[in-house]
Amino acid sequence: MISSSIGELSLYGFSDRIAELYRDYPGLEAARVVRADRSHFQVMTRAGAMFVPRALITPEGAQCATGDWLGLDFEGSLEGAFGANPGLLQARVLPRFSQLIRKVAFANSSESQLLAANIDLIAVVVPLDRTLSPGRIERMLVAAWDSGATPLLILTKADLADGINGNHDVVSQVMEYAAGVRVITTSAEAGDGIEEVRQQVQDYPGGGATLTFLGPSGAGKSTLINALIGAKVQDTGEVREGDFKGKHTTTARELVPLPGGGVLMDTPGVRGFEVVDAAEGVAKVFGDIEELFGLCRFADCQHLREPGCAVQEALENGLLESRRWQSYQKMQREMARLAQRKDIAQSRSESRSAGRAYRSYKKIRGRVEEGKF
């Protein structure tokens, strides 16, 4: 049972919204994954940090990542199990509010890898000390929307912007790509904008928001993180825990409580994430383009040179920027390529499992014939 005191868990995003989630799992103790390792997860409970072996994760075969909420089932009590947790029977993965998934497609397989779970705010970090890459901003925004989180756009290094981006009104230019996303300009030098970022986290509906940063190397993510935390993450995030053998180890948690509320997620796998396959996110970022399709004269318009094509018309009269149209088409091509590889991988794995079933049938037949059954 969750006692009335949730202790340290409140620092790790446990809010009324999360309490509601656990109401469907009576008898399970709340825990949040603060770090995923090969053989185990480090989780935070109301009584402190502990380890959960991967083998205890249910439902069987479920993926689990930093940010996940788990329902721990103890033979005795949480307190009693503390330390080496022999009393932990299973750790159930609760439904997620959002998830960042890397969809990879190799020549002969297609799999998806869960990178992080239950992120509320994804800050797409764009540095102003170099030329803006609208395509890249769009791809990161698509990834953010597609995860189920709310994107924010943070323009960093405002103090270095002048020389490079000239007199353009960079913010309004970016807002055009960002379609309805909150844009915040920061400068680590002067500490500008940090309070605004903090405010976004604290104002998140329901409280206890989890924030993460996405952006290219050198964009200023670590600098922002340090400013938000007010100390080096390495110092703040490091903990000493007893492992299963009672040995002390030092690991960095990937979830770090923020002063003033909210939780920062900093996992190496998420930092450079970009979209590969994200139909929903594409609709959010390129919704205006997809709306045009409905205005074409022919329902099966390819938007090339058909008469009455609304896309060509919008391009001609400048309502649609040709760069955005190209960016949209490029993303569609990548998604189609991925879908095709998935189909191939799927049919290969189906024929593989059919082959396996036949081989095991033959083996049993053989044994029956040898009189072993």
Ligand X SMILES: Nc1nc2c(ncn2[C@@H]2O[C@H](COP(=O)(O)OP(=O)(O)OP(=O)(O)O)[C@@H](O)[C@H]2O)c(=O)[nH]1
- What order do you get walking across the sheet with 150-156 strand by strand? 182-185, 150-156, 121-127, 210-214, 263-265, 255-257
Q: Is residue 222 within the footprint of ligand X (CB under 6 A)?
A: yes
Q: Which of ligand X, Zn ion, none does residue 139 bind to, with CB < 5 to 8 Å depending on kind? A: none
Helices (runs of H) and strands (runs of E) counted in the chain? 13, 16
Q: Which residues pair with 93 in a beta bridge?
A: 70
Residues in contact with ligand X, counted by CB under 6 A, come to a total of 16
CB contact at 8 A, 222 and 233? yes
Per partner kind, with CB cut-offs from 5 to 8 A, the member of ligand X, Zn ion, none near residue 28 is: none
Single out the residue of 56, 223, 338, 348 in contact with ligand X (rule: CB under 6 A). Answer: 223
261 dihedral zone (left: phi>0; alpha: psi -120 to 50; beta) = left
Q: Name the 3-class secondary structure at 339.
A: helix
CB of 133 to ligand X, least distance (A): 15
Q: Residue 306 CB, nearest distance to Zn ion (Å)?
A: 6
How far is the C-alpha of 349 from the C-alpha of 337, rounded, in Å?
18
Query: What is the token pair recorded at 169?
Result: 């009104």
Cα–Cα distance measured from residue 54 to residue 63, given in angstroms and rounded to the nearest whole number: 10
Residues 57-116 that bind ligand X (CB under 6 A): none
Contacts of 49 (CB under 8 A, 6+ apart): 34, 42, 43, 239, 241, 253
Q: Does 314 bind Zn ion (CB under 5 A)?
A: no
| Of 26-34, 68-76, 112-120, 151-159: span binding ligand X (CB under 6 A) | 151-159
x/- map, 226-245, Zn ion, by CB under 5 A: --------------------
- Out of 94, 122, 155, 188, name the contact with ligand X by CB under 6 A: 188
The reply, when asked if residue 157 is annotated as ligand binding, is yes
Q: Which two tokens stand for residue 320?
A: 């649609």
Does the footprint of Zn ion cover residue 309 (CB under 5 A)?
Answer: yes
Strand 57-58, strand 69-74: pairing = unpaired
Contact partner, 46, from ligand X, Zn ion, none, Cβ < 5-8 Å per class? none
- One of 42, 187, 200, 312 touching ligand X (CB under 6 A): 187
Q: In this chain, which stretch among 95-103, 220-228, 242-250, 299-307 interacts with ligand X, using CB under 6 A?
A: 220-228
Q: Fill in the DSSP letter of residue 94.
A: P
C-alpha 214, offset from chain centre: 9
Residues 255-274 that bind ligand X (CB under 6 A): 271
Q: Among residues 148, 220, 237, 262, which is the contact residue for ligand X, using CB under 6 A?
A: 220
Does the annotation place 294 within a ligand binding site? Answer: no
Output the smallest distance, CB 296 to Zn ion, in A.
Answer: 3
Q: From the list 181, 285, 311, 314, which residue makes contact with Zn ion (rule: CB under 5 A)?
A: 311
Packed helices 134-147 and 322-369: angle between N→C axes, nearest 10 degrees: 50
Q: Is residue 202 near ligand X by the rule CB under 6 A?
A: no
Q: Scanning residues 157 to 176, which ones bind ligand X (CB under 6 A)?
A: 157, 159-160
Q: Is 218 part of any known ligand binding site?
A: yes
Are 242 and 248 contacting, i.e. CB atoms less than 8 angstroms apart? yes
Q: Which residues are annotated as a binding site for Zn(2+)?
A: 296, 301, 303, 309
